[in-house]
Amino acid sequence: MLTLGGSDEAIVAFAIAGGVLVALVAIIGGYVHNTAVARHREQSRREIAAYVAEGTISPDDATRLMAAGENGVLNRS
């Protein structure tokens, strides 16, 4: 009779390989996410600096904008 796994050792090997694969995908996904967040944050800081340089917003407002959302919490004052 034909069986899917063949033996208990094969099932254990597939389970370990699957777990390692899931862990690698999670680690790579976290790295990509953190890189994207950092890139977007830096782009926003550059845009705010450009607005200050052209005089569209005041330096005080720029400071508040850059401080908003730090550590994942919005400052509402």
- pLDDT tens, position by position, 2-14: 455 468 888 899 9
In this prediction, residue 72 has a pLDDT band, given cuts at 50, 70 and 90, of low
Q: Which amino acid is at 7?
A: S
Q: What is the pLDDT of residue 53?
A: 96
User: Rounded mean pLDDT of the chain?
Assistant: 86
Region 18-24: mean pLDDT is 97
Domain boundaries, the chain: 34-70
Report the b/e string of 9-20 with b at 16+ CB within 10 A.
eeeeeeeeeeee
Structure tokens belonging to residue 24: 């690698």
**Over the stretch 45-67, which tens digit does the pLDDT of each residue have?**
999 999 999 999 999 999 998 88
